[in-house]
Amino acid sequence: MRSLRKTRRIQVIVLAAAALALASGIIGYAMRDGISFFRSPSQLLADPPGPAETFRIGGLVEEGSLVRGQGETITFRVTDGGASVPVAYTGVLPDLFGEGEGMVGTGRWDGQVFRATEILARHDETYMPKEVIDALKEQGVYVNPAGEGGRAGGS
């Protein structure tokens, strides 16, 4: 009798472990396109990703770099103070997008230009995404516009 209980218990544990592994695999497979990593311009140039990898890049729009093309394509450079990366975006930019302002873009690196499929800009005059602040602090160029204890940084 004791041996049968022990065998059943082991079978249930093995079955539960297999079900958990299968569920984790299915969730990971389903999320593969929804996960995008953040990189600063310095990180992008130091360790370029493959052309098929979608990721986010953020920093400040470099002063004097914003060029509106003949069509809907806009080009500009994004910087973290240590490096600058050219960005090309086709579409309508957010209202608060501008030179010297923080931005985050989602897209792919083709080896020369970051091809953005989505551009996000700050949503008020003091907010900047935490990832962008961290990248700017690493380069030693971040100044908190709200002063100590302000809303900058996603508080």
| Domain map (residue ranges) of the chain | 1-34, 37-139
In the chain, the DSSP E strands lie at: 37-39, 55-61, 67-68, 73-79, 84-90, 102-109, 114-121
The reported pLDDT for the residue numbered 155 is: 39
* pLDDT for residue 86: 94
Architecture of domain 37-139: Beta Barrel (2.40)
Angle at 98 between CA 121 and CA 50, to 5 degrees: 60
pLDDT in tens, the chain (155 residues): 678 888 999 999 999 999 999 999 998 888 776 666 888 888 888 888 888 888 889 888 888 888 887 678 889 999 988 889 999 998 888 878 888 888 889 999 988 999 999 988 865 555 666 777 777 787 776 666 555 444 444 43
* Per-residue model confidence (pLDDT) at position 18: 96
Q: If we measure between CA atoms, which residue out of 97, 100, 94 comes closest to residue 64?
A: 100
- Provide the pLDDT for residue 148: 46
User: How far is the CA of 29 from the CAs of 15, 26, 34, 53, 108, in angstroms?
Assistant: 21, 5, 10, 15, 20
